[in-house]
């Protein structure tokens, strides 16, 4: 069984073809980074228009890469939410229309479920149940995962998500968009211990996240300490250290609360090297395991949508003819398999 997956939730256009026996057959991705760089962030209207231009050519390229025709495809999966409503509508409309034209079932995929299941694309996959730490530009979320569709949200961001805080702090430091990876690279030159930033919401019970205050603390430090290159690197180090430490503290707390022994980290921030190293060290001490997708599947991509869509396709969870985009879509409202 083969499925075509389409991802257009924000500023990446992703298309992939996944086979339930052979695995990933094709993976095409176009990033809009250069398009939005002049504006210092994603411009929703420009993102939507670019998805219109890029989605069909990427579908054609994916079919050619997989040496497939429409007759070889058993279903069409597309991201229906959450995300930017205009961008979502592009992928949902194209995906549903192709499904109708080809006489195939259509599957609406939850973007964060795609991220959560992305490690399943690897050779070494986690077994259910596990704890999922989903950290991206738009979401920070801790989820107790008992199975596909069996999600209990233990904590989430109440303001800025981790990735958003990275990008905004990088912008304060004069780094280009997207600033998160550039801030992490700058932090490699930082001096440990020169600055210590707070670990927000770790001094109280609960598993929710808040990073807006940390961003403000960084802004005040930048203003008061000057902006020579070494100071900027030291501030970047302290900021990254605070975010990673906060995520690790919350993970450890969630593991103790649930009794789980495995952690999955996914989403754009899961590509951060220091986050991976700290969680790996923590899980070794706790005699557990940490799993994450390869770097190219940490950011938005069609492969994770195709995989998640395949699971829903097998369960015959199809969409009607109407096209619906859900910019807000709680992950714990999904149907279990």
The verdict on whether residue 243 carries a ligand-binding annotation is: no
39: three-class secondary structure by DSSP: coil
Any known ligand binding at 137?
Answer: yes
Is 111 annotated as contributing to ligand binding?
A: yes
Binding residue per annotation — 11?
no
Known binder of ligand: residue 167?
yes
Task: Provide DSSP, 111-165.
Answer: HHHHHHHGGGGSSS-PPSSEEEEEE-SS-EEEEEEEETTEEEEEEEBSSS-HHHH
Buried b (16+ CB within 10 A) or exposed e, 131-162: bbbbbbbbbbbbbbbeebbbbebbbbbeebbb
Angle, vertex CA 91, rays to CA 89 and CA 97, nearest 5 = 95
Rounded Cα distance, 92 and 97, in Å? 8
Tokens 């979502």 sit on residue: 88
Is residue 272 marked as binding?
Answer: yes
CA-closest candidate to residue 12, choices 35, 32, 42, 40: 32
CA triple 276-29-59, angle to 5 deg = 145
Binding site for Fe cation, by residue number, is 111, 115, 300
Binding site for substrate, by residue number, is 134-138, 167, 180, 272
Binding site, by residue number, is 111, 115, 134-138, 167, 180, 272, 300
């Amino acid at each position: 069984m083969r499925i075509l997956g389409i991802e257009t939730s924000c500023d990446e256009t992703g298309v992939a073809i996944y086979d339930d026996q052979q695995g990933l057959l094709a993976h095409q991705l176009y990033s809009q980074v250069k398009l939005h760089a002049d504006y210092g962030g994603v411009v929703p209207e420009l993102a939507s228009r670019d998805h219109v231009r890029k989605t069909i050519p990427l579908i054609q390229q994916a079919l050619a890469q997989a040496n497939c025709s429409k007759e070889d495809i058993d279903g069409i999966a597309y991201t229906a939410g959450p995300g930017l409503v205009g961008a979502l509508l592009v992928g949902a409309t194209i995906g549903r229309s192709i499904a109708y034209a080809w006489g195939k079932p259509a599957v609406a995929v939850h973007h964060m479920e795609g991220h959560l299941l992305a490690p399943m694309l690897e050779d070494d996959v986690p077994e259910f149940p596990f704890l999922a730490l989903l950290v991206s530009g738009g979401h920070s979320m801790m989820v107790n995962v008992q199975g596909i569709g069996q999600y209990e949200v233990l904590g989430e961001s109440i303001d800025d998500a981790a990735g958003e805080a990275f990008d905004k702090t990088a912008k304060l430091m004069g780094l280009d968009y997207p600033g998160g990876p550039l801030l992490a690279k700058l932090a490699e030159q930082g001096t440990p211990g020169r600055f210590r930033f707070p670990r927000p919401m770790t001094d109280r019970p609960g598993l929710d996240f808040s990073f807006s205050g940390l961003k403000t603390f960084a802004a005040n430090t930048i203003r008061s300490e000057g902006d020579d290159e070494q100071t900027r690197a030291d501030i970047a180090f302290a900021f990254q250290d605070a975010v990673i430490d906060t995520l690790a503290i919350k993970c450890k707390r969630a593991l103790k609360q649930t009794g789980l022994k495995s952690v999955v980290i996914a989403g754009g921030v899961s590509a951060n090297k220091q986050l991976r190293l700290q969680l790996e060290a923590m899980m070794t001490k706790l005699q557990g395991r940490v799993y994450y997708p390869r770097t190219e599947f940490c950011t938005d991509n069609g492969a994770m949508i195709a995989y998640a869509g395949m699971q829903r396709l097998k369960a015959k969870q199809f969409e009607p003819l109407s096209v619906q985009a859900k910019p807000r879509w709680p992950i714990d409202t999904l149907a279990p398999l």
